[in-house]
Chains A and B, each alone.
Chain A
Amino acid sequence: MSLFPAIDSLPQSLSLSDLEPLESLAQSAPINDANVSRYYSLLIYSLIINDDIEEARFVLKRTPPAKRIISAGASELTETASSLSTARKILTSLWTKNYLAFFPTIDAALKSVPLESQEANLLRKLVDHVRETNYKFVSHAFLSVSMSDVAVYFGLPDIDAREFLVRKGWNISDEDPLIMTPPTLARESPKAAAQQKARLDSLTSLITHMQRA
Chain B
Amino acid sequence: MDPQFSLLTVLLSIDFDGAEEVVADSLKDRVLPILQANATAVKAGSEGSFNVNITGVSGDSSSSGSSSKDGGKESSPSAIRDVDKSLAPRYMIAKKDQDDILTRTDPAQVSLLWVLALTAKFSNQVADVSEFFALVNRLFDNISGAQAKLVPEHYRALLYIIAAASDAIEMPILSLRPLLSAALSFSPLHDMLSPAHSLFLIQALKAKQYKLALQLLKYDVDKFDSAYGLTYHDHLRFHYYGAMVFIGMKQYQKAIEYLAIVLCAPGFPCSMVQIEALKKTVLLQLILYGKHTLKLPRMANDFTSHSYRAFARPYDHFAVAFENGDPTILKLVWNQIKGIFSADGNYGLALHALTAFRKQRIQKLRKTFITVTMEYIESKDVDILENGPSTKEFVLAMIADGDLRAKISQKSSTSPITVIFQDASITSSHLDELEAKLNSVRQLNEKIAAADREVGQSREFLNRKLESASTPGGFLGRGAGLEDLEGNDDSMMEL
Contact = CB atoms under 8 A, between A and B. Distances in A.
Interface of A: 1, 23-24, 27-28, 54-55, 58, 61-62, 96-97, 137, 140-146, 149, 173, 175-176, 178-179, 196, 199-200, 203, 206-207, 210
Given A141-B396, A178-B413, A196-B428, A1 B438 contact: no
Q: Secondary structure at chain A's binding surface: helix, strand, loop or mixed?
A: helix
A176 B434 contact: no
B358 to A, nearest CB: 15
Given A97-B393, A141-B396, A28 B174 contact: yes
B426 A143 contact: no
Interface in B35-76: none
Contacts of B133: 1
Contact of A200 (B400, B410, B431, B438): B431
Interface string B166-187: 0000010110010000000000
The bracket for how many chain B residues form the interface is: 35 or more
Q: Which 7 A-B pairs give the minimum distances between C-beta atoms?
A: A176-B412, A143-B409, A62-B208, A1-B130, A178-B413, A58-B208, A141-B399
B408 A24 contact: no
B414 to A, nearest CB: 8
A65 B441 CA distance: 45
B165 to A, nearest CB: 13
B408 to A, nearest CB: 5
A179 B209 contact: no
Contacts of A97: 389, 393, 396-397, 400
Contact of A142 (B207, B211, B250, B408): B408
Contact of B431 (A55, A61, A175, A203): A203
Interface in B115-142: 129-130, 133
A175 B129 CA distance: 72
A86 to B, nearest CB: 21
A27 B173 CA distance: 8
B211 A175 contact: no
B462 interface: no
20 contacts: A58-B211, A137-B400, A141-B407, A142-B407, A142-B409, A144-B410, A146-B413, A173-B411, A173-B412, A176-B411, A176-B412, A176-B413, A179-B410, A179-B412, A179-B413, A196-B426, A196-B428, A200-B426, A203-B435, A207-B438
Chain B at the A interface: SS class: helix
Nearest to A1: B130
B128 to A, nearest CB: 10
B465 to A, nearest CB: 26
Given A1-B130, A27-B173, A54-B250, A62 B407 contact: no
Nearest to B441: A210
A144 B416 CA distance: 12
Given A27-B174, A141-B399, 11 more contacts: A24-B173, A55-B211, A140-B399, A142-B409, A143-B408, A146-B413, A173-B412, A175-B411, A178-B412, A200-B431, A210-B441
B249 interface: yes
Interface of B: 129-130, 133, 171, 173-174, 177, 207-211, 248-250, 389, 393, 396-397, 399-400, 407-413, 420, 426, 428, 431, 434-435, 438, 441
A199 B430 CA distance: 11
B411 A144 contact: yes
Contacts of B130: 1
Contacts of B420: 143
B48 to A, nearest CB: 32
A114 to B, nearest CB: 31
Contacts of A23: 173
Contacts of A149: 410
B351 to A, nearest CB: 14
A36 to B, nearest CB: 13
Nearest to B442: A210
A140 B174 CA distance: 44
Contact of A179 (B411, B431, B438): B411
A200 to B, nearest CB: 6
Nearest to A204: B434
Nearest to A2: B130
Contact of B410 (A1, A24, A146): A146
A196 B407 contact: no
A96 B397 CA distance: 9
